[in-house]
Amino acid sequence: MPENKYFTVKNSRSRRKFLKTSVLAGVAGLTAPLWLSRTRPADSPEELTRVLTATNAANAATGSDLWRRDTPELVAAALEGIPVAGPGPFLESWDSIGQNYQDPDWFRDGKFGIYMHWGIYSVPAHGSEWYVRYMYGGNKGIMDWHTEHFGPPTKFGYKDFLPMFTASKWDPDAWADLFKKAGAKYVFAPGEHHDGFSNWDSKVNPFNAKNYGPHRDLDGDLIAAVRKIGLKTGISDHSFFHFQFIPTPPPGSDLLNSDLYDPKWADFYTVADRSNKSRVKFMHNWVARRFETIDKYNPDMLWFDMGTDHAIDPLKIRVAAYYYNRAREWGKQVAISAKGAAWVSGQIMDYEREGRAPMELTDWVWQPDDPIQDKFGYVEGIHPGPPGGYVVRIVENVCKNGNYLLNISPKADGTIPQEQQDVLLAIGKWLGVNGEAIYSTRPWTKFGEGPVADACAASMVKVRATGNFAGRLNGQNMSGDGVGGGGVSRNGYAPKDIRFTTRGDTLYAMVMKWPGDDPVTITSLASGQRLHGKVRKVKLLGHFGSLHFTQDAEGLKVKFPTEKPCDYCYSLKITGLKLT
């Protein structure tokens, strides 16, 4: 095998060498693109990742889909030279990872996190964070818009936005302070998106924020600022899709003369060379970049958007075992969060957008990554919703054993639009009053009661009747009559809509709408229910003093004060019961 080139990363154990580039003789002679092979049967539909490409002109013209599956030979070649997991209880198997992994207490206690989409795509601020795919033929409307505003892609390529991605007004300490005021307990730095640009000072990927654009370690600076004020940190990664993300131009296209084929930028775009050798190099470097960020930043969580293709499981297993063993050395509780069955074990479930979040109480912890505006990346003219809507999602998720991960969309200059800041501060104001009913709580025996909870239950009956519901691994939008994902009402709430959480023997009942002069009746606490103990005191968080209440066969009836302690979702603190 030819000599490899190395770079060095320091860690607490030793100096480890990681491959920067791979010239692998074992695959150098392969010519057929095995990663597009249909010859290997799939073990299940989840074994395949469905990707729309334009790898050949016929399929590009008809819009047909190609099925990509990496062969075991290519995956094994990609792992050559990558260090094994190292000492620790996590061996390189899903069984070992599952047996040794435990959801971190900090995640179960934290409930509310922030992550973000911030990168080159923030410069055009048009369409979505998929701009690089669209401008090179993936979307004619955006391609035309790009041509009108910057010139044709053959003259002004995606790389030409790099000098405009300046972060010139960025203050990571101000961001961290804002996130803390918002009530977030963990924050993800925007590691790398589908465009292949790393937001950290990478020795593996030369196309990074230290070498181009801002010329600083964005992830490192943000992690340091967030960690300094006591919040947990993580890094998000969407880059595994990068290899096939930009469509291959069909024969005769002007894009064949674009920077997609400029040798200087070919490794950035990964369009000019999609051979087996290039695929192996890409997968190898994907693992190396994960190791680099693990050892460089010691993150509390790794977050992935990478599909559920199990053909690449050996890559993920190597990363997971390495990460979890390293965390044991750090003395930290850490986790990986991803969608679907991307990581067979050792994974906190993530659901893309609140619309896919569970509508019922679950026995697993989870979070949806939910954008503050319609798109994840900053797009001109798109605005966030009213703050109360995000507070409702926090409440609905927490009572069902979930968290809420809110995505923000900063501008290319490093500023967070004021209207997004206003939403965050409003959430923080609400949590300042009601945080006791959210942080460090656990679900009760039921998530809630009232007409919206009843609608959720009826909807789940219908969902299960279809036979398509995948439970924990669900990837479809959840909806029913008047409700959507997370059990969020589409028609507003009534005072009868109540959500429950617990902390020890304290029960919290969050009333979703202010009742006015009428008492709130909590039917789940009726005198005929099988309850241990007796309600002794009821308080309204944010209100001084106890509230008057009675308890009979209809329920616990509580009289609210005349003044609201906050603007939405009002939390009762109920003591005297034996819940544990």
Q: pLDDT value at position 17?
A: 37
What single string gives the DSSP state of each residue in 468-528?
A: ---GGG--SPPEETTEEGGG-BSS---TT-EEEEEETTEEEEEESS--TTSPEEEGGG-TT
Q: pLDDT value at position 558?
A: 98
Nearest to 395 by CA among 221, 249, 577, 541: 541
* Mean pLDDT, the chain, integer: 89
User: pLDDT at residue 475 above 90?
Assistant: no
pLDDT band (50, 70, 90) for residue 476: confident
CATH architecture of 78-437: Alpha-Beta Barrel (3.20)
Instruction: Compute how many other C-beta atoms are within 10 angstroms of the C-beta atom of residue 424.
Output: 23
Contact partners, residue 244, CB within 8 Å, separation at least 6:
51, 53, 68, 270, 274
Q: pLDDT value at position 31?
A: 32
251 three-state secondary structure: coil
- pTM for the model: 0.90
Given a contact cutoff of 8 angstroms between Cβ atoms, the answer to whether 450 and 497 are in contact is yes
Given a contact cutoff of 8 angstroms between Cβ atoms, the answer to whether 190 and 115 are in contact is yes
CA torsion angle for 122, 125, 127, 132 (degrees, to 10)?
-40
Compute CA 444 distance to the chain's CA centroid, rounded to the nearest angstrom. 26
User: pLDDT at residue 174 above 90?
Assistant: yes
Instruction: Dump pLDDT digits (tens) for 369-421.
Output: 999 999 999 999 999 999 999 999 999 999 999 999 999 999 999 999 999 99
Average pLDDT on 238-257 reads 96
Instruction: Compute how many other C-beta atoms are within 10 angstroms of the C-beta atom of residue 79.
Output: 18
Fold of the domain spanning 460-577: Immunoglobulin-like (2.60.40)
Compute CA 297 distance to the chain's CA centroid, rounded to the nearest angstrom. 18
156 pairs with which residues across the strands? none
Instruction: Dump pLDDT digits (tens) for 410-454.
Output: 999 999 999 999 999 999 999 999 999 999 999 999 999 999 999
272 three-state secondary structure: coil
Strands 483-484 and 498-503: unpaired
User: pLDDT at residue 37 above 60?
Assistant: no
Instruction: Compute how many other C-beta atoms are within 10 angstroms of the C-beta atom of residue 266.
Output: 15
User: pLDDT at residue 60 above 70?
Assistant: no
Instruction: Dump pLDDT digits (tens) for 112-140.
Output: 999 999 999 999 999 999 999 999 998 99
So where are the chain's domains? Answer: 78-437, 460-577
Question: Hey, do 78-437 and 460-577 end up sharing a CATH topology, with the first three levels equal?
Answer: no
209 three-state secondary structure: coil
100 three-state secondary structure: helix
Q: How far apart are CA 185 and CA 199, in angstroms?
A: 22
Contact partners, residue 56, CB within 8 Å, separation at least 6:
none
506 pairs with which residues across the strands? 503
Nearest to 479 by CA among 354, 565, 570: 354
User: pLDDT at residue 50 above 60?
Assistant: no
